[in-house]
Amino acid sequence: MQTVIQVKNLKKSYGNFQALNGISFDVEKGTIYGLLGHNGAGKSTTIECILGTKIIDSGEVTVLSQSPLKTRKQLFQKIGVQFQNSAYQDRIKVKEICEINHSLYKKATDWKVMLNKFGLMDKMNAFVAELSGGERQKLYIILAVMHNPEVVFLDELTTGLDPKARREVWKYIHTLRDQGVTIFLTSHYMDEVENLCDKISILKKGEILISGTVQEVISKSGKANMDEAFLYFAEEEAE
């Protein structure tokens, strides 16, 4: 199996606060990897260190065997990213943001095809700010995958979505994975993690407490389900 994302002994601190204290993991091609943890555990910092938007203190990070800092231009042709609260200009329209995004990449799918696939075709001339939470989230996913990337990073992708929209998004993520795309995601929802992830890690105070498949993590915790297993690990020694 080909390793797509490799993180070795990654450390990152902000002043005196040790955000990541030497984490290591590998993500294999064509799998969905979930990074779990409470707010402030270091999930977003991990994504940003992997993507190079934050400079790491020490350790090693490679995506598709390359350093995201050194070969940015080539590498980001093959990486798709959806950040929490994705950024867009006030008063920008759906088609404008799609056109610009499309122009960034060498082999991007026609954005109209993407909008159609996600049922957003009639929103083409709408302002991004006027979309519903679910529609906007779908748009962010379109922007992240329009260029047929090999790796996709999704930071809390279904936060704020209604149950129907979440299931649609899950279905699409499965389709992507079946096409061989590697997906790295963070999530707060254990049902989502159970539905999607081939492998998970639970992050707490900048350290990985446990990694494995959902089944492995549940059985190691001795609990009945993923919800309880997550709480068991993420809140261990909390009190």
Partner 1 sequence: MRTLWLMYKTEAKLSVREFSSVLFGVLVPIGLMILLGVLYGDATLANNPSVRQIDVSFSAVATLGICSAGLMGVPLALSDYRWRKILKRYKVTPISPMTLLMAHVFFCFSLSIVSTLFVYIVAFMFGFAFKGSVLTFILAYLLVMVSMHAIGLIIASLAPNSKIAGVICSLVYFTMIFISGATIPYEIMPKAMQVVSDFMPLTQGIKLLKAVSMGETLSNSLLSLTVLIVVAVTGTAIAVRFFKWE
Binding-site ranges for partner 1 (CB under 8 A): 51-53, 72-74, 76-77, 79, 81, 83, 85-92, 96, 99-100, 103-105
Q: Would you say 152 or 208 has its CB closer to partner 1?
A: 152
CB of 76 to partner 1, least distance (A): 5
Closest separation in Å from C-beta 93 to partner 1: 8
Beta carbon of residue 30, minimum distance to partner 1 (angstroms, whole number): 22
> Read out DSSP for the chain?
--EEEEEEEEEEEETTEEEEEEEEEEEETT-EEEEE--TTSSHHHHHHHHHTSS--SEEEEEETTB-TTTSHHHHTTSEEEE-TT----TT-BHHHHHHHHHHT-SSPPPHHHHHHHTT-GGGTTSBGGGS-HHHHHHHHHHHHHTT--SEEEEESTTTT--HHHHHHHHHHHHHHHHTT-EEEEEES-HHHHHHH-SEEEEEETTEEEEEE-HHHHHHHHT-SSHHHHHHHHHTTT--
Query: 151 vs 193, which CB is nearer to partner 1?
Result: 151
Question: What is the smallest separation between the CB atom of 164 and partner 1, expressed in angstroms?
Answer: 28
Alpha-carbon distance of 234 to 118, in angstroms, equals: 35
In angstroms, what CA-CA distances link 55 with 21, 66, 74, 192? 14, 15, 19, 30
* Closest distance of CB 165 from partner 1, Å: 22
CB 112, min distance to partner 1, A: 16
Query: Nearest approach, Cβ of 99 to partner 1 (angstroms)?
Result: 6
Question: What is the separation of C-alpha 143 from the centre of its chain, rounded to a whole number of angstroms?
Answer: 13
